[in-house]
Amino acid sequence: MSFQVEREYGRHILSPIYAPSPEERNALQPALLKAPTTSPSWTGTVHRFCGTGARAEPEFWPSSRFGESPGNIPDNDKFDTKYRPESGKVTADKDGVYRMYASVSRSTAAQINSVPCPTIVVKRYIPTQQVPPAISGRPGVTLLMLPGMGLVKEVFEPMIEVVLQELCSKKVRVEEIWSVDMPLCGETALANPVGYAYGNEKDITRDLLMFITGYLPVRPQQDLPEELPFRAPDLNGTQLTRSNLHVIAHSLGAQAAMLSAAHAPDIFSSLTVMDPAMIPGGKIVEAFAKLPKELFCMQLEEQHSSREDLVAALQANKRTRGWDARVAAIFADRAVVQASDGSSVRLIAQPRLEWALYYDKETPTHCYDRLTDITTPFNAIMPTKPFAVPPKMFEADVAAMKQPTRITWLPKTTHQVPFERVDQCARLIADWLHDRCNGSSDKAHL
């Protein structure tokens, strides 16, 4: 796979990425902040990289207040970034060239604002049972897992177990699987000071593009340093990226994957999205702005007396009560930190930070606007009660896409579909990947 540093795309909405300076790379925090999970199905390694600089600085939470408690974030809709319908159009006065990387160093970009560049933590899974190339008959695949906001990279591990079993039986070789702790979540949150500015949705997409184009090794390697080395791009010509890279993403992670694919279509072999955090324009945007803020967070208390108490809260919580028990156990283990006196546990992803993301009323609609710009093979696993996508509208828009597409609707599921139907989603993903490796051109709506 590959990308152009500059390409014609008249509906781009992302700022350029800035290359990290040596000083910024040296300032990265250690990635291994919690004991790593293990499994007979894979061996794991934990790594870190430096996220993009020149991050958005919201009016209501400037960098001068960066270190304050998120409880001080104002509750005032006047700070909303509202969607403008004209932003979805190509106009004569708009620059029609998308520049993925800026031509200046990020130390220069740091003068734009003083939001520190984040340390982002990722985990690599190497399958212990590999399909030999002679049997698979084709190059191996790499999977990239992107969870939604408030979750941790390890929540996909029950799904990874089943996907590996299914793909092995289908003779599809998996080289590696990577999973990302999104900003404000998991070990990424532990590696950085508390700061809402890390949660800007467009900047999260820029971090994803930076990982794929600047940090993910072009070829699988057995030994990797904890700090992934940065491949500085040549600002001219084509840059190579990891071949046969397939994304599996949920919610905000799916939004980032879709915006990345619209801006850089040649870096992915396929997208599998599970109820992306996107909203069509029109009246639904007005309705979105009126929804109660409590709808958008995990609806969990920040403090719990124990991990067992947190599991009980997950089982009672309207948002998470349908979770598979394996996912709930992982969340209770990985998504919290123990109080210094051992008396309680605290959620790493602070609820107020997650809630404040939804001052951004435009990026979810920007994402839906650009759905039909995506040319990558597109697989959607959707709940019968999606976050905000009208099913018939979504069906029609995906049907208009020219590449291979597939939509599967899972009955009696919610926005938490990958964690409510772990095994079923895993088998659907394995079937899709098998078909992609065998060149299927189906357009299925199930």
Q: Does residue 348 lie in a domain region?
A: no
Residue 351: inside a domain: no
Give yes or no for a contact between 185 and 150, defined as CB atoms under 8 angstroms apart. yes
User: Across the chain, which distance is largest between two alpha carbons, in Å?
Assistant: 62
371-421 confidence digits (pLDDT tens): 999 999 999 999 998 988 899 999 999 999 999 999 999 999 999 999 999
Do 116 and 64 touch, CB atoms closer than 8 A?
no
Is the pLDDT at 108 greater than 80, yes or no?
no
- Please indicate whether residue 135 or residue 228 has the higher confidence score (pLDDT): 228
- Contact status, residue 245 vs residue 275, Cβ threshold 8 Å: no
| pLDDT band of 355, cuts 50, 70, 90 | confident
Nearest to 300 by CA among 265, 352, 257: 352
Of the pLDDT bands very low, low, confident and very high (cuts 50, 70, 90), residue 243 is very high
Residue 328 to residue 151: CA distance in whole angstroms = 11
Q: Is residue 226 part of a domain?
A: yes
- Domain holding 409: CATH number? 3.40.50.1820
User: In angstroms, what CA-CA distances link 176 with 23, 157, 221, 245, 309?
Assistant: 30, 13, 9, 10, 35
- Report if residue 318 sits inside a domain: no
Total structural domains within the chain? 1
Share of the chain above pLDDT 90, in %: 58
- Domain assignment present for 302: no
Output the pTM of the full model: 0.94
Is residue 306 one of the residues assigned to a domain? no
**Which comes out higher in pLDDT, residue 20 or 79?**
79
Residue 347 inside a domain? The answer is no
The answer to whether position 340 is within a domain reads: no
Range of the domain at 406: 2-282+364-445
Over the stretch 250-301, which tens digit does the pLDDT of each residue have? 999 999 999 999 999 999 999 999 999 999 987 667 766 666 666 566 778 8
Q: Is the pLDDT of residue 330 over 70?
A: yes
